Structure 1
Amino acid sequence: MPYFRKNLAIDLGTASVLVYVRGKGVVLNEPSVVAMDTFSKNILAVGSQAKKMLGRTPGNIVATRPMKDGVIANFNATEKMLKYFIQKATGRTMVRPNVIICVPSQITQVQKRAVLQASRNAGANKTYLIEEPLAAAIGSGVDIADPGGNMIIDIGGGTTDVAVIALGGIVINRSIKVAGDECDEAIADYIRKKFNMLIGERTAEDIKINIGNAMPNELDDKLYEVRGRNLINGLPMHVFVTSTDISEALEKPLDNIVDAVHYVLDKTPPELAADLFERGALMTGGGSLIPGLDRRIEDRIGISVRLADGPVSAVVKGTGKSLQWINKLDSDDSSYSEARRRALEERERLRRR
């Protein structure tokens, strides 16, 4: 039976879930949204179908994102969502697959156990974890075993992970809860304050994609029509916003991301810092697609910053490539003893020194 067992790699993100099947590549890329009936507690829709319901559901149906800031916020919904994606990726089979899930680099042990438990309940045979910066580096073609340093800036939906990698491990890292979702919230808040208009998260995301820019000095001032609800009289309304408006709205979250990159570089050992000056930094994740963000970071830290090929799928591809050494990753296998758990905690403590 083990010969028929499939191995899956899952990027369990705040904004979207990507699934990689060995031999097939990325087979699923859907929003991490679940629609649930509050009366019966039944799951009505998952992924793309559920995202269409955001902000448009009747009172008995709630469409939510079960992941927040890169970790599980709603355990039951996450479990059902994982079960849906695993079954969709594997098809009808009696053999439970092995699963690798990538997690933020500074996730706590409690949060790790929640991911492992949800995966097991969703139908996984064994679940393994890998840190997102490592997965992003592997997926971008970086040789993580190289003694020279490589900086990875992974900007997802809920978290931004910045790490310096050398000799197959993370030397210094920082994970902050500021990423794509925080940018959407900043845009919605800016429009609420300036135009007295309320918009939803989908509208804010559309604005960011269409006219968002991280470099206000390089803007061709574009106009974009935004529709929403007037906060004063409660009626529908529309306004035209400019690229300058959105650049101003994104100022604070983008500054936080740049500060995190600067912090990691400041704490990097001198020998590795010399490597980074030569090699530059690599950006991955959907949040890295904001125009001008690479140049904004480059202006601050003084080393070149480039965007990875296929930044959205880099993490899940790297997680998929790690299927080759699946047995070397941390798993939820019940045969692991208390001594093994203490050894992992000690290794984590030493790594963070």
Structure 2
Amino acid sequence: MFGLTSNDIGIDLGTASILVYIKGKGVVLKEPSVVAIDRNTNEIRAFGEEARLMIGRTPGNVVAVRPLRQGVISDYTVTEKMLKYFIHKAVGKRTLRKPRVAICIPSGATEVEKKAVEDATEQAGAIVLGTIEEPVAAAMGAGLEIQKAFGNMIVDIGGGTSDIAVISLGGTVVSTSIKVAGDDFDEAIVRYMRKKHNLLIGERTAEEIKINIGSAYKRPELLTMEVRGRNLVTGLPKTIAVTSDETLDALDETAQQIVEVVHSVLERTPPELAADIFDRGILLTGGGSLLSGLDQLIEEKTGIHTVIAEDPLTAVAIGTGKYIDYIIGEEGKPKKRF
């Protein structure tokens, strides 16, 4: 009588993407955290991928916005509408019960920021079961046994924030969240192209460069990509060839910031857990971890074996969904929390 779908869902509410995990089904939705709004009427024109395709290509009255910036809500009303749309799209409308949701937050989020996420989720028509810090969710989603008494180090690099944490006995021992992540890689490429080539490119083009030839560590072979933009001297469209070695220069400063924070978290880690991490290695999750050579750079600078999770993009969403099993008993009532 209550419909055909499970109502327990985990949401990875990211700056770049929103992922929805449904218990028993896995990740059922992955869309960009973008909303297209008509400024004349204040009406929403599109959500997700449809809205992302409009970035930089809309008429004056239609603007594509990201309601989340650096891991936190920057536009409450738009975030609420976006959550409502994606929850309904994932769960469907064949259920009479409100979906029960666990949602992730950056490890450095304040109580006010955490409350804003919970309120927006409730206003979107869901029951909030709890919130979980992103690195803990990432560790669970990647299949680590975080409840045991040994140290695990997670580096979760999303779109707006990088969360670095040492986890033991199901909780965070040492953690740091910095507002340097995937979006900053894109911005670094935009700045480099402007400074080096007098070429103005958009966010989407910068992201394509990052994905296709971007590198944080010298590649064994040189890759080249044609890039189109606007010449800042003539004002006319121009196409140039960019190499992977150039992206190494462009991304170096941003990548080094993440490495420095990893180093600082290791410095604050208790010696017994530090020994565990040396044996077990560092695990990278999040879309930003897919930047070529970032794992090699971290390994070179720390001397600790560094690996990328099997599915870094969905680890946080899967872990957020698994978290429901920890806080919901067999009878469907809240059980325990970390």
TM norm. shorter chain > 0.5? yes
**Equivalent residue letter for 1:181:** D
Structure 2 counterpart of 1:116, from 115, 118, 131: 118
Q: Is the 8 A contact 1:5 1:98 kept in 2?
A: no
Structure 1, residues 97-120: CA drift from partner, whole Å, max 9, x if none?
Answer: 111111100100110111011111
Distance 1:2 1:160 in 2: 39
SS where residue 127 of structure 2 aligns? Answer: coil
Q: Once the 2 structures are TM-superposed, how far is the Cα of residue 226 of structure 1 from its aligned partner?
A: 0.5
Unaligned residue ranges in structure 1 (runs of 5+): 334-343, 348-353
Once the two structures are superposed, residues 262-298 of structure 1 have per-residue CA deviations (whole angstroms, 9 ceiling, x without a partner) of 0000000011111111111111111111111111101
What is the letter of the counterpart of residue 128 of structure 1? G
Q: If the length of structure 1 is used for normalisation, what is the TM-score?
A: 0.90
Measure the CA separation in 2 of the matches of 1:94 and 1:167: 38
Partners of 1:256 and 1:85 in 2: CA distance? 33
Q: Deviations over 1:46-101 (max 9, x none)?
A: 00100010000011111011111111111111111101000001111332111111
User: TM-score under structure 2 normalisation?
Assistant: 0.94
Secondary structure class of the residue paired with 1:128 = strand
- Structure 2 CA distance for aligned equivalents of residues 253 and 57 of structure 1: 30
Residue matched to 1:286: 287
Deviation at 1:213, TM superposition (A): 1.1
Matched, 1:168 2:170: yes
Q: How much has 1:302 moved relative to structure 2? A: 1.0
Give the alignment's Cα RMSD to 1 decimal: 1.8
Report the secondary structure of 2:316's partner residue. helix
Aligned residue-pair number = 330
Aligned-partner SS, 1:250: helix
Aligned to 2:298: 297
1:67 aligns with 68
Q: Which residue of 2 aligns with 1:243?
A: 244
CA distance in 2, matches of 1:117, 1:320: 19
Q: Secondary structure at the match of 2:246?
A: helix
Q: Which residue of 1 aligns with 2:196?
A: 194
SS in structure 1 at match of 2:254: helix
| Equivalent pair of 1:163/1:174 in contact (CA under 8 Å) | yes
Mapping for residues 263-342 of structure 1, pairs under 5 Å: 263-327=264-328
8 A contact 1:161–1:173 mirrored in 2: yes
Contact 1:282/1:308, CA 8 A, preserved across alignment = yes
Shift of 1:2: 8.4
What amino acid does structure 2 have at the position aligned with 1:254? A
Amino acid of the residue matched to residue 210 of structure 2?
K
Distance in structure 1 (CA, Å) of the matches to 2:233 and 2:73 = 36
Q: In the alignment, is the contact (CA less than 8 A) between 2:214 and 2:292 conserved in 1? A: yes
Task: Name the counterpart of 1:336.
Answer: none
CA contact (8 A) 2:155 2:165 kept: yes
Distance 2:221 2:210 in 1: 15
Please tell me the residue identity of whatever aligns with 1:46: F
Q: CA deviation at 1:209?
A: 0.5
Q: Percent identity?
A: 56
1-structure distance, mates of 2:280, 2:69? 33
Aligned to 2:143: 141
Partner of 1:215: 217
- Distance, in Å, in 2 between the alignment partners of 1:252 and 1:137 is 27
Structure 1 residue 326: Cα displacement: 2.8
> How far apart, in 1, do the equivalents of 2:309 and 2:173 lie?
21
Q: Counterpart of 2:245 in 1: which secondary structure?
A: helix
Kept in 2, the 8 Å contact 1:14–1:70? The answer is yes
Give 1:53's aligned residue.
54
8 Å CA contact 2:6–2:23 kept in 1: the answer is no
Q: Please say if residues 262 and 301 of structure 1, whose CA atoms lie closer than 8 Å, have aligned partners that are also in contact.
A: yes
Letter in 1 for 2:321: G
Aligned-pair CA distance for 1:126: 2.7
Q: Deviations over 1:109-143 (max 9, x none)?
A: 11011101111111112342100010000011111
Cross-structure match for 2:109? 107
TM-superposition CA deviations, 1:216-242 (whole Å, max 9, x none)? 2x3422221100111122211111111
SS at match of 1:192: helix
Q: Determine the C-alpha separation between the residues in 2 that align with 1:327 and 1:72.
A: 27
Question: Are residues 147 and 7 of structure 1, via their aligned partners in 2, closer, same or farther at CA, if it must alter by over 3 Å?
Answer: same
Distance 1:275 1:225 in 2: 45
Residue deviations 1:186-226, cap 9 Å, x none?
0011001111111110000000011011112x342222110
Mapped to 1, the partners of 2:327 and 2:286 lie a distance apart of 23
Secondary structure of the corresponding residue to residue 126 of structure 1:
strand
- Note the residue ranges of structure 2 that are not aligned, 5 or more in a row: none
SS in 2 for 1:178: coil
